[in-house]
Copies of this chain bind each other. A is one copy, B any other.
């Protein structure tokens, strides 16, 4: 049961000029299921990406990074579910390349102009022949169908869109994502693809993809594990006719960044809302730090603590667990007497202990909600960070313990 998450509706997901979506059923793992997505990009586009830092990164992740660095224009993305092509060594690389080559031949491109993405079972050979055999059957799709085509253990497809106006030109941002927990044999990789018809230079798109990822996909945690295949791709086609963004100083840069952030945050939150066994959606805000890094450390200490997460599951306003997590977050010179802790707007702890005016009924009322904000004021600076997570339930253990039975 996802937390306050609805399936995307095609009518609310406008197309992005210069982006063509194609799907097919290759029967990689489940016959009849949409499991291949090809994203065709018109000439003149720009593509940028950020990828998992897991040292066991998968063959397609390595190829994506090489192809993006090759200096050719990316003209197609090919995504398969059902097999992650991870932990597969040199053979996995050859299989991913063979898929890129087949997509390239179909559209008379170079192999390096195709980016491959895989998600699903790890440590199994990619059935590249099945993917190649399905390419002739590719059919046009909308963004909602594309979102369905990349699902693995997701209970709902994930898509989001925004419109904005840049200098009188209508600009669209539309994106899709997948991912819940990290399940083996379907290690639930996080994949995100966001496209816009705004025009952005490659250096600016590289900057945008990092800035946007930091505040969206890099600010969520379901179980603290990061997968071998995580990828986030930003595409700009330039077909809106809006001015070219070639400097972060342009007002259009901030306008576009805001729209991209809204789409990416909605997608990242959807992954948390669809987290394995999730019953609560938790926002952790940490303010008043000396650096963003220390704020993120505190936020993640709270968001990753199994004790905090089971307390949310139990709707238990358990201040001790929250304070202890803040205390061990690694901020070496933290003065706990200057710190304040809120559940939504209720001040629960200050001056090193429980707020004398706090009544447990107040905390209980907040904990009973399905959406809760934990706010920590560190009282030592002006930096902030925000992280989203979900609770930790019996269902999480059941899903992850019983998956192969």
Contacts and interface: CB of A to CB of B under 8 A. Distances in A.
B401 A314 contact: yes
Given A324-B226, A352-B87, A311 B400 contact: yes
Given A320-B185, A331-B55, A397 B227 contact: no
A57 interface: yes
A336 interface: yes
Interface stretch (A15-23, A37-45, A260-268, A302-310): A302-310
Interface in A348-405: 349, 351-354, 392-394, 396-398, 400-405
Interface string A50-75: 00011111000000000000000000
Contacts of A331: 55
A202 interface: no
A55 B87 contact: no
Interface string A69-113: 000000000000000001111001000000000000000000000
A353 B404 contact: no
Given A307-B184, A401-B314, A87 B227 contact: no
A334 B181 CA distance: 25
A306 B184 contact: no
B401 A316 contact: yes
Interface centre among A227, A314, A402 (most CB of B within 10 A): A314
B187 A401 contact: no
Given A182-B324, A225-B306, A397-B397, A87 B404 contact: no
A226 to B, nearest CB: 5
Nearest to A305: B225
B320 A87 contact: yes
A181 B400 contact: no
Contact of A323 (B87, B89, B323, B398): B87
B352 A307 contact: no
A7 interface: no
A314 B88 CA distance: 25
Interface in A134-161: none
A311 B183 CA distance: 10
Interface in A288-344: 304-307, 310-311, 313-314, 316, 318-321, 323-328, 331, 334, 336-337
Contacts of A196: none
A5 interface: no
A400 to B, nearest CB: 4
A307 to B, nearest CB: 5
A231 B194 CA distance: 50
Contacts of A398: 394
A352 B351 CA distance: 50
A54 B330 CA distance: 8
A401 B318 CA distance: 10
A88 B306 contact: no
Given A307-B223, A321-B225, A353-B88, A55 B400 contact: no
A382 to B, nearest CB: 20
A224 B307 CA distance: 9
Given A89-B337, A187-B324, A310-B397, 16 more contacts: A55-B326, A55-B331, A55-B336, A56-B324, A87-B319, A87-B320, A87-B354, A122-B320, A122-B323, A123-B320, A182-B307, A182-B324, A184-B311, A225-B324, A228-B323, A314-B404
13 contacts: A54-B328, A55-B326, A57-B327, A87-B320, A88-B353, A123-B319, A183-B307, A223-B306, A225-B321, A228-B327, A313-B397, A394-B398, A397-B397
